[in-house]
Amino acid sequence: MSLHATEFFPIFIYLLVGLGLSVVLLILSMLLTYQAADTEKLTAYECGFDPFDDARSQFDVRFYLVAILFIIFDLEASFLFPWAVSLTKIGSFGFWTMLDFLFELTIGFIYAWRIGSLEWE
C-alpha cells in the first residue's frame, strides 16, 4: 500500500465498522420488536394534519414560519458557544460585535412577536 492509503486505512475501518453496526442494529430492531399500529400511533402529532393523507394537500404556512424562527434562534445559540470560549482571545471588538449581533436578533424577535408570527390561532 502507498503512504496515502495507509494514512486513511484506520478511517476506512472506522467507517466500515460504523456502517456494519448500524445495519446490524437496524435489522435486529426490526426482527426483535413488536410492530403493530394502534390508534395512538396513527394520530396527527405536532404537525396538525393526518400523516397518511394525500401529500399534495394544503399545508398551513405557519408551520414553516415557526420552523424558520426556530432555526434562526437555534443558530444564535450555536454562535454563542464558540464566542464564549474564545472571548479572551478576540478582545473587546469581538465582545461588541457579538452584542451587536444579539441586539439585531432581539430586534428581529420583537418584530416577529409584534406582527403576530408567534401567535397560533
Give tens-digit pLDDT for 54-68. 667 677 777 777 788
Cα separation of 19 and 50, whole Å?
A: 34
pLDDT band at 103 (very low <50, low <70, confident <90, very high): very high
Question: CB neighbours (10 Å) of residue 108?
Answer: 14
Cα separation of 12 and 51, whole Å?
A: 39
pLDDT in tens, 7-16: 888 899 999 9
Helix (H) or strand (E) holding 55, with range, is none
pLDDT at 18: 96
Domain ranges of the chain: 1-35, 37-121
Residue 119's alpha-carbon distances to 6, 30, 112, 116, in angstroms, are: 57, 41, 10, 5
pLDDT of 33 higher than 80: yes
Q: Which pTM value belongs to this model?
A: 0.47
Q: Which fold has domain 37-121?
A: Methane Monooxygenase Hydroxylase; Chain G, domain 1 (1.20.58)
